[in-house]
Chains A and B, each alone.
Chain A
Amino acid sequence: MKHVKQGLSHLILLCSISIVLSCNNNSGNSAVENKLDTVLTGTVTAELTDAPAVPKPLNYTSPKKVTVQLDVIEKVMKISDSTEYTFWTFGGHVPGKFIRVRQGDLVDFTLHNMPDSKLSHNIDLHAVTGPGGGADATATAPGQSSHFQFRALNPGLFVYHCATGPVGMHIANGMYGLILVEPQSGMAKVDKEYYIMQGDFYTKGKFEAPGLQDFDMDKAIAEHPDYVLFNGRVRSTTGKNALTANVGETVRLYVGNGGPNLVSSFHVIGEIFNKVYMESGSEINRNVQTTLIPAGGSTMVEMKMEVPGVYNLVDHAIFRAFNKGALAQIKVSGDENPAVFQKLK
């Protein structure tokens, strides 16, 4: 009996080892397969927001089917106070709607191109695992819709953009936005979340030349932008439109860079990032002054606001900030904090 028991336990041990081994043989895949086996627990429609707003943190803890519909809208908007530009947009603004889903969700995605669009458009979401990031499935003529599904396998903050030829032109006209895939454990709670996206623009006229300005292909190819902007407009996020926070609050910025050409040296004047989710991946860097955001990439930064005042967000390739528009602001209200900073007479 004892032998039988021992034999049995040996057998169990052997089995466990072989299971472990077989798991190790395809370790990456099995984790994914397990996730894909999970039964979806209902359907939700994703909350979509225009910058600088961010959808509310997700309150569910098991994968769902998430419905997302984005409308492609070609429209004339102000790029500066007295300058207009024909933008091509995901949802009517630049950048496009912020999408928030959770790792493991099945995203049911519809792209609708408005009937009065002149051109065909599609979407490549960097959060997609599959051909063209969805572009392959979404070539959409004016007035038509296209539909595909993808599984949000990897957590992170991902750029999406139009990938219809000529791709550079579609991106240069404002066709990009961000999709956040929250890790299964969720994002740590912070006091304020904002959405900022940088992009470079190329116009026939110089910076802030008045009137409706045409796209300039030569400047785009030469990578000589007239505008480098946060959220698609000079002064989109300054003065009365500045972001706000109170002393003592932790602010998280979801920052994307649509490009098409420039890499951003993202910096907040007078603050140090307590945390940088490097390139929005899983590595966290701390105590960072300036962080790089690749074109077609993103970052998540967190900072605790200690001292009241106006803080400028810039691309620290600094001519872009002061001569091309790459400047946004956070207004921090609250009591002075002389232990941290005080101006002396």
Chain B
Amino acid sequence: MKYILTILLLTGCFDVSNAQQKKAVSFEKKMLKIPAGNYKPFFVTKSNKPIKVAAFKMDESAVTNTEFLLFVTANPEWRKSKVNRLFADSNYLRDWESDLIIGGKNINIYNSPVVHVSWFAAQAYCKWKNKRLPTVAEWELAGNAAPKNIKYTSLTEYILGWYKKPNLPVLPNIKTTYQNVYGLYDMHGLIWEWTFNFNSFISSGDSRGNTEDELKAFCAAGSINVVDKTDYAGFLRFSYRGSLKGNYCIANLGFRCAKTIE
């Protein structure tokens, strides 16, 4: 029912061809099995030890604007005008024209990752789908897998390349960067992604050793880097996550869902 409603909304509002949109909304998002593994943080402390990660399922790509539109259509409390400010700051769905209209001028982002969404909204979306956000360990394990369809010298170089590139005027569609060996699209190079326990590390803003974790992270950043450059980009992700709050809605920050394998 909600799909039909949305398609009606889309076709009602725009005279553009919505074939692609219909295609996008008529399929459940494909989930891929990520095999069990050992997530080894780029530094190790008492509270930040290597973690065994059980096999789990992960969305093959980030949640798109069109997919998120279905969510807010079905869940009025997550519409722009109704959302509780405690759960999403004033930038929530900033680019959308209104509650249920992404907007004619935004035609190019229907199939782009939804951004300007809070942790609470992302978690609510996943719950609605009977899923959840991936943990940091799950996300990192999945994200560190090697690309399989692009030429690259190292994943770190690839990631740093994204950091240095100014934002494009329009956020590209999903599945436009690379696919990794698990089959996941765009784990790096398109957006940042929310994780379930994003703020479990570096609770203070200074990353130079105010806590044991930070001290280790700070020292490790230089020394370990020589051995494994991938970890250096990991450090940037940890710094980024450490500055977030659950209600923040940010231009480059979206999400994908995960699911425990029963």
Contact between A166 and B235 (Cβ–Cβ < 8 Å)? yes
Question: Which of B59-67, B172-180, B245-253 faces chain A?
Answer: B245-253
> In the assembled complex, how far is the CB of residue B2 from the closest CB belonging to chain A, in whole angstroms?
30
In the assembly, what is the distance between CA of A87 and CA of B2, in Å?
46
**Would A131 and B163 be within 8 Å (CB), given that A119-B239, A142-B251, A166-B221 are in contact?**
no
- 3 closest cross-chain pairs (CB), A and B: A139-B205, A132-B206, A165-B207
Contact assessment for A136 and B210 in the assembled complex, using a CB-CB cutoff below 8 Å: yes
Known A165-B207, A221-B226: A143·B242 in contact at CB below 8 Å:
no
When chains A and B are docked, how far (Å) is the Cα of A221 from the Cα of B242? 24
Q: Taking the complex as formed, is B167 at the interface, i.e. its CB lies under 8 A from any CB of chain A?
A: yes
Indicate whether A44 reaches chain B with its CB closer than 8 angstroms.
no
The answer to whether A215 touches B243 (Cβ under 8 A) is: no
A253-B222 Cα distance, complex, nearest whole Å: 34
**List of B residues within 8 angstroms of A122 by Cβ:** 205-206, 243
Inter-chain contacts of A57 with B (CB < 8 A): none
Contacts of B165 in A (CB 8 A): 86
In the complex, the chain A residue whose C-beta lies closest to that of B251 is: A115
Query: Is B160 an interface residue, CB under 8 A from the partner?
Result: yes
In the complex with contacts A116-B251, A135-B206, A215-B160 CB distance below 8 A: yes
Query: How far apart are A149's CB and chain B's nearest CB, in angstroms?
Result: 15
Q: Does A333 contact B (CB under 8 A)?
A: no
Indicate whether B120 reaches chain A with its CB closer than 8 angstroms. no
Nearest CB in chain B to that of A123: its residue: B205
Per the CB 8 Å criterion, the residue count for chain B at the interface is 39
11 contacts between A and B (CB under 8 A): A115-B250, A116-B252, A119-B163, A120-B239, A139-B205, A141-B244, A141-B248, A163-B206, A214-B161, A221-B225, A221-B226
Whether a CB of chain B sits under 8 angstroms from the CB of A167 is yes
Residue of B whose beta carbon sits closest to that of A122: B205
Known: A86-B166, A120-B239. A142 touches B207 (CB 8 A): no
Q: Is the CB of A119 within 8 A of B240?
A: yes
B93 CB within 8 Å of chain A: no
Residues of B within 8 A of A141 (CB): 240, 243-245, 248, 250
For window 189-207 of chain B, which residues contact chain A by CB distance below 8 Å?
A: 202, 204-207
Q: Is A138 an interface residue (CB 8 A)?
A: yes
Q: Decide yes or no whether B105 CB sits under 8 A from chain A.
A: no
Residues B210 and A132 in contact, CB atoms below 8 Å apart: yes
**What is the CA–CA distance of A76 and B163 in the complex, to the nearest angstrom?**
12
A118 interfacial by beta-carbon distance below 8 Å: yes
Which chain B positions have C-beta within 8 A of A214? 160-161, 164
Do B206 and A217 touch across chains, with their CB atoms under 8 A apart?
Answer: no
Whether A131 pairs with B210 at a CB distance below 8 angstroms is yes
A135: chain B residues at CB < 8 Å are 205-208
Task: Write the nearest CB–CB distance from B158 to chain A, whole angstroms.
Answer: 11
Q: Report yes or no: A168 in contact with B205, Cβ–Cβ below 8 A.
A: no
CB contacts (< 8 Å) of A146 on chain B: these are 205
Q: Say if the beta carbon of B187 comes within 8 Å of chain A.
A: no
**Residue ID in chain A nearest B166 by CB atoms:** A76
Best-buried of B164, B217, B229, B242 by chain A (most CB within 10 Å): B164
- Are A143 and B235 within 8 A (Cβ)? no
On chain A, the number of residues with a Cβ less than 8 Å from chain B's Cβ atoms is 35
Considering the chains assembled together, what is the distance between the CA atoms of A168 and B208 in angstroms?
11
Any B CB within 8 A of the CB of A144: yes
What residues of A have a CB within 8 angstroms of the CB of B182 in the complex? none
Interface 1/0s, chain B 203-231, versus A by CB < 8 A?
Answer: 01111101000000110011001100100
B163, B229, B238, B244: most-surrounded residue (chain A CB, <10 A): B163
Question: Are A86 and B238 interface neighbours, CB within 8 A?
Answer: no
Tell me which residues from 157 to 207 in chain A have a Cβ below 8 Å from any Cβ of chain B: 163-169
B73 at the interface (CB under 8 A from A): no
Question: Least Cβ distance of B112 to chain A in Å?
Answer: 15
Q: Are A164 and B207 closer than 8 Å at their CB atoms?
A: yes
Alpha-carbon gap, A221 to B229, bound state (A): 12
- The yes or no answer to A236 lying at the interface (CB within 8 A) is no
A136 touches B244 (CB 8 A): no
**Does B54 reach chain A (CB closer than 8 Å)?**
no
CB–CB B236/A119 < 8 A: yes
Check if A165 sits within 8 Å of B205, measured CB to CB: no
The reply on B91 being an interface residue by CB < 8 A is yes
> When the two chains form their complex, are residues B164 and A165 in contact, meaning their CB atoms are under 8 A apart?
no
Pick the most buried of A131, A166, A167: most chain B CB atoms within 10 A of its CB: A166
Q: Give the interface centre of B165, B206, B249, B252 by most chain A CB atoms within 10 Å.
A: B206
Interface contact B205-A132, CB-CB below 8 Å:
yes
Chain B minimum-CB-distance residue to A140: B243
Question: From A170, which residue of chain B is reached at the shortest CB distance?
Answer: B239
Q: Does B39 contact A (CB under 8 A)?
A: no
Is A286's beta carbon under 8 Å from chain B?
Answer: no
Whether the pair B229, A217 counts as a contact (CB closer than 8 A) is: yes
A10 to chain B, nearest CB (A): 53
A141 to B250, CA, bound (A): 8
B128 at the interface (CB under 8 A from A): no
Would A86 and B236 be within 8 Å (CB), given that A115-B251, A132-B210, A144-B248 are in contact?
A: no
User: Known: A118-B163, A164-B239. Contact between A139 and B225, CB under 8 A?
Assistant: no
Which residues in B have their C-beta under 8 angstroms from that of A166? Answer: 221, 232, 235-236, 239
Name, among B207, B218, B236, B252, the residue most crowded by chain A CB atoms within 10 Å (CB to CB). Answer: B207
Q: How far is the CB of B54 from chain A (nearest CB, A)?
A: 29
Say yes or no: is B14 at the interface (Cβ < 8 Å to chain A). Answer: no
Are A165 and B217 in contact, with the CB atoms below 8 A?
yes
